[in-house]
Amino acid sequence: MLIGLSGPAQSGKDSFFNIAEKYFLSLNLKCKRLALADNLKHDLKDFIYEKFNIDIFNISQEDKELIRDLLVVYGKIKRQQTEGKFWTNLLNKELDQALKEYDIVFITDLRYAHYPQDELNWIKKFKNNMIIHISRFDEYNKIIPPRNFEEQLNDPILKQNSNYELAWHTSQDLNVRIKEMEPILNKIYEQYKLSK
């Protein structure tokens, strides 16, 4: 089963995966996390370290905000050159292997729906897929908005095309997060069982 997680930066897509992985492990299901941006980060890691002394794979939130625009622009240029297929093409081989070895594979950074073969349509071509849109309330109970122009354009389309939506609260309490996720985790499990 393949699940794409969409939503603005810092909405909790990786947190969703981390909790889901533990939940499904308790049901003896193996999960794998893949991210389209991991290849982008590998491409830029030496440059970012040399120019900014930032380790992109061990980064504070403050430093991530400093380099976010650079990552977005680089990713956008590569997508424009290939009509949205550059990062998905790089991930295809690893994804095909993961789908053979794991019960549920999560793509934790589904962000684009601009080109006909962009990330949204790419994930939909896989059998037994699901798209979950995630947003997060801030401490004032307002949804945290998209961080940049690219997110402002694409996030509403991704949200509209999702199978399920999760809007969760900013909380360090794992039990609060699990309770908010539980209905979607149950839906994932139901769809997984139907596919077997």
The model's pLDDT over 11-55, given as tens digits with 9 standing for 90+, comes to 999 999 999 999 999 999 999 999 999 999 999 999 999 999 999
Q: Is the pTM of this model over 0.85?
A: yes
List, for residues 94-138, the tens digit of each pLDDT value.
Answer: 999 999 999 999 999 999 999 999 999 999 999 999 999 999 998
Tell me the per-residue pLDDT of 134-153, one tens digit each, with 9 for 90 and over.
Answer: 999 988 999 999 988 999 99
Contact 101, 32 (CB under 8 A): yes
Q: How confident is the model at residue 171 (pLDDT cuts 50, 70, 90)?
A: confident
Contact between 144 and 138 under an 8 Å Cβ cutoff? The reply is: yes
Query: Which residues are within 8 A (CB) of 90 and not within 5 positions of it... i.e. 6 or more apart?
Result: 36, 39
| Ordered structural domains, the chain, with CATH | 2-195 (3.40.50.300)
pLDDT at 128: 93
Say which DSSP state 171 is in. Answer: -
